[in-house]
Amino acid sequence: MSETTLDAPAQVPGTRRERPKRDWGNPTIYLMALLLVAAMLAPVVYIILGGFRTNSQITNSPAGLPSPWAIGNYLDVLRGGVFWQEVVNSTISAVSTTVGVVVLGLMASYVLARYRFRGRAAMYTLFAAGLMFPMTVAITPLYIMIKSLGLINTLPGIILPQIAFALPVTVIILVPFLRAIPDEIEEAASIDGCSRLGFFFRMVVPLSVPGVVTVGILAFVGSWNNYLLPLFILNDQDTFTLPLGVQAFASQYSVDTAKVLAFTSLSMIPALVFFSLFERRIVGGLTGAVKG
Amino acid sequence: MADPTRESSSVSRDSPVVLSPEEGSAAVALPSSGPRQRRRGIGWPARLEIAVLSGPAIIIFLTFVILPVAMAAYYGFYSWQGYGRPVDFIGLKNYVTILHDGLFLDALKHNGMIVVLSLVMQGPIAIGMALLLNKKMHGKSVIRVLIFVPYVISEVIVGTGWSLMLQTSGAVNDLLKSIGLGGLAHDWLSDPKIAIWSLMVIISWKYIGFAVLLFLAGLQGIPVELQEAAAIDGASYWQIQRRITLPLLGPTIRIWAFLSIIGSLQLFDLVYIIWGQYVSSTAGTSTMATYMVTNGRNSGNYGYGNAVAVVLFLISLVIALIYQRFVLRRDTEGALTEGKN
């Protein structure tokens, strides 16, 4: 079917060609890359280093380095309960959103990719059109709806809409993946007595891991960083996720810049770690290649 | 110039990234069911499977995405404070007010600037970065992760950090003074002439990683053989990029531009975090979305806020459709209007 669009077995683990000779290439490339990295990291480094300074250091020399290094700000934040409560809230929200998006998205994409039925085109268009409905447009009625469902100030109140709004991208990325699974595999499975649902769980789920990782990370990072929805739905400090927490902290301790910077740096760690671990997979997953 | 370290070797697709051209005419039929069933559609077991597998996703999507948008259209015709049922039907009055409000027109103008400047500022730099990161070099994977840091951290962190740096007594002005360029120190955030440019720098810095991510994925889809062939024919590195890589990256660039335009029209977080709800209009950085929140929810006029949302949606939709029609058409043929088979 879609062999024309997609070469299915794009990469088999272990076939990655190694360069025989290790030459270092052009030094200007490294210089440019270095400048680039410096430009992209400078503000982040400013935030992290700022957390190691005292307020008087920051006032006297806003762009200076910590001297001496003060770790009190970080320790204060880590000892306080507020930060950890918000980490827990963010984690619950991000993990539930990711699981929900992957499970629902995979099931719907499987139907779209491998069943033939009337209304399939309409269903695909419905999800694809979802890209046109960003949360900004829907936020006011969404707030009213969540309120009438009694989910204001609860984490499900942000998790459910997050799942719904992540579905379009998920479906659009996953459908080509599932479609690229060769028919022969399904035929072989069916000859061996595997039902279509059995095929789904035994073959489709394992084979779609690269795509699932991509959409999973996008959903996780999107949920972790979401600001608009929690801003509307969560008003109770106990339910705050980290972005709201950072902002609340920044206005509460607006004179204590160093502490704000420490809080801010600590709150970016989880998403950074998560993304760094899987960065390669994202690029790979977006190219839509199915590893056979 | 071939890059032997590339991840996936032979993915040749017209449009490698999201919105890929789905089948169009390619059949998806799985010929496992008999001919009788195929003529009459599908059997009940299969229908049950379809319902069970796709039902939850469809229900949650309709409930939390489509329904709210429809509700926005409905509430937009009412003067409504968010309590009880809307009863005060005022027809198009909200819309008339919006289109005559100078603050909204300002916001619309800012959105327009952000759309254009985002494309002009981020596009070329991101393509350059993607080409650079696609070259062979040591430590590439580390550099890649580092470059995506701004894209991965949240808008709140970016906003908090940058607003501290750009304060009048902040790090940027201090740095300028210490290297003898004190004359260049400015009030980066509240001077209406400069604020929008500060915003553009922050936006570019934050979102360029996403463009690079897409372009890198697009570059993976370009067959190495073409570049190798051109290199054998004596083409220089830049000739190859200009004549082969860039045209083949076209679909990815056009999809990125599409997502960038939609994102710029919906911009909310960064402006709201850095400038707050009142300062943004005097600093000249307000957007339609910040206008919506300020004049809708924050002032209790839910009917009005919904009307703004509808205007915002219609503007985005019209621009998206025009873009689809004239720019994306050949790339996404069938993706959004599938089912011509």
Domains annotated on chain B, with CATH: 76-332 (1.10.3720.10)
Q: Which residue has the tokens 């960065």?
A: A279
Domain that holds residue A225: 87-286
**Is A1 within 8 Å of B23 (Cβ atoms)?**
yes
Question: What average pLDDT does the segment A164-181 reach?
Answer: 83
Contact state of A169 with B26 under an 8 Å Cβ cutoff: no
Contact state of A141 with B75 under an 8 Å Cβ cutoff: yes
Instruction: For chain B, say whether A252 makes contact (Cβ under 8 Å).
Output: no
Per-residue tokens: A258: 């160093």
**Is B265 within 8 Å of B311 (Cβ atoms)?**
no
- The number of folded domains in chain A is 1
Q: In this predicted model, what pLDDT tens digit does every residue of A121-144 receive, in sequence order? A: 888 888 877 877 778 888 888 888
CA distance B268 to chain A (A): 8
CA distance A225 to chain B (A): 5
Interface test with A, best of B5, B7, B252 (most A CBs within 10 A): B7
| Residues of B with Cβ-Cβ distance to A117 under 8 angstroms | 41-42, 46-47, 50
Domain assignment present for A13: no
Local confidence band at B192 (pLDDT 50, 70, 90 cut-offs): confident
Helices (H) and strands (E) in chain A, counts: 14, 0
Of A33, A104, A165, nearest to B65 by CB-CB distance is A165
Distance CA B243, CA B261 (A): 26
Of A41, A137, A190, nearest to B312 by CB-CB distance is A137
Contact state of B28 with A118 under an 8 Å Cβ cutoff: no
Q: What share of chain B is helix, strand, coil (3-state, %, to 5)?
A: 70, 0, 30
Paired residues of A20 in beta bridges:
none
pTM: 0.78
Contact state of B273 with A61 under an 8 Å Cβ cutoff: no
Kindly write down the DSSP assignment for every residue of A5-62, as one continuous string.
Answer: T--S----TT-PPPPSS-----HHHHHHHHHHHHHHHHHHHHHHHHTTS-HHHHHH-T
Distance CA B40, CA A117 (A): 10
**From A5-19, A104-118, B89-103, B129-143, the region with the lowest mean pLDDT:** A5-19
| Residues of B with Cβ-Cβ distance to A7 under 8 angstroms | 10-12
| Residues of A with Cβ-Cβ distance to B147 under 8 angstroms | 36-37, 40
CA distance A76 to chain B (A): 19
Instruction: For chain B, say whether A16 makes contact (Cβ under 8 Å).
Output: yes
Domain assignment present for A233: yes
**Percent of chain B topping pLDDT 70:** 82
| Residues of A with Cβ-Cβ distance to B82 under 8 angstroms | 144
Contact state of B42 with A61 under an 8 Å Cβ cutoff: no
The mean predicted confidence, pLDDT, of chain B is: 76
Domain assignment present for A61: no
Kindly write down the DSSP assignment for every residue of A86-112, as one continuous string.
Answer: HHHHHHHHHHHHHHHHHHHHHHHHHHH
pLDDT at B27 over 80: no
pLDDT at A48 over 80: yes
Q: Label residue B145 exposed, middle or buried (CB < 10 Å: 0-12, 13-18, 19+).
A: middle
Paired residues of B83 in beta bridges:
none
From chain A residues 176-205, the ones with a CB under 8 A of any chain B CB are 176, 179, 183, 186-187, 190, 196-197, 200
Q: Find the closest chain B residue to A142 by CA distance.
A: B68
Instruction: For chain B, say whether A69 makes contact (Cβ under 8 Å).
Output: no
Of B7, B19, B82, nearest to A11 by CB-CB distance is B7
**Is A16 within 8 Å of A284 (Cβ atoms)?**
no
Q: In this predicted model, what pLDDT tens digit does every residue of A216-272 receive, in sequence order? A: 888 888 888 888 889 888 888 888 888 888 888 888 887 788 888 888 888 888 878
What Cα–Cα distance (Å) separates residue B290 from each residue in A198, B59, B107, B279, B283?
49, 30, 8, 11, 13
From chain A residues 108-127, the ones with a CB under 8 A of any chain B CB are 108, 110-118, 120-127
Of A36, A138, A282, nearest to B213 by CB-CB distance is A282
Q: Quick check: ipTM above 0.85?
A: no
Instruction: For chain B, say whether A42 makes contact (Cβ under 8 Å).
Output: no
Of B41, B53, B313, nearest to A137 by CB-CB distance is B313
Q: What is the pLDDT of residue A120?
A: 80
**From A167-171, B170-174, B306-310, the region with the lowest mean pLDDT:** B170-174
Contact state of B71 with A43 under an 8 Å Cβ cutoff: no
Contact state of A24 with B10 under an 8 Å Cβ cutoff: no
What Cα–Cα distance (Å) separates residue B200 from each residue in B116, B174, B265, B276, B290?
10, 21, 14, 17, 16
Residue type, A3: E
Instruction: For chain B, say whether A269 makes contact (Cβ under 8 Å).
Output: no
Distance CA B232, CA B97 (A): 65
Per-residue tokens: A105: 């998205």
Contact state of A61 with B172 under an 8 Å Cβ cutoff: no
Q: In this predicted model, what pLDDT tens digit does every residue of B298-337 receive, in sequence order? A: 877 888 888 888 888 888 888 888 887 777 666 555 444 4
Number of residues assigned to chain B: 341
Contact state of B65 with A225 under an 8 Å Cβ cutoff: no
| Residues of A with Cβ-Cβ distance to B323 under 8 angstroms | none
The mean predicted confidence, pLDDT, of chain A is: 79
Q: What is the pLDDT of residue B14?
A: 38
Local confidence band at A96 (pLDDT 50, 70, 90 cut-offs): very high
CA atoms within 13 Å, Cβ hemisphere of B294: 21
Local confidence band at B25 (pLDDT 50, 70, 90 cut-offs): very low
Q: What is the pLDDT of residue A283?
A: 67
Q: Which residue has the tokens 């109770």?
A: A236
Domain assignment present for A21: no
Q: Which residue has the tokens 């570019």?
A: B204
Contact state of A276 with B312 under an 8 Å Cβ cutoff: no
Distance CA A152, CA A146 (A): 6
Per-residue tokens: B116: 């254009």
| Residues of B with Cβ-Cβ distance to A240 under 8 angstroms | none
CA distance B151 to chain A (A): 10
Say which CATH number the domain at A273 has: 1.10.3720.10
Domain assignment present for A148: yes
Q: Label residue B155 exposed, middle or buried (CB < 10 Å: 0-12, 13-18, 19+).
A: buried
Local confidence band at B200 (pLDDT 50, 70, 90 cut-offs): very high
Paired residues of B89 in beta bridges:
B78
**Is A224 within 8 Å of A90 (Cβ atoms)?**
yes
Domain assignment present for A269: yes
**Is B170 within 8 Å of A60 (Cβ atoms)?**
no
Domain assignment present for A18: no
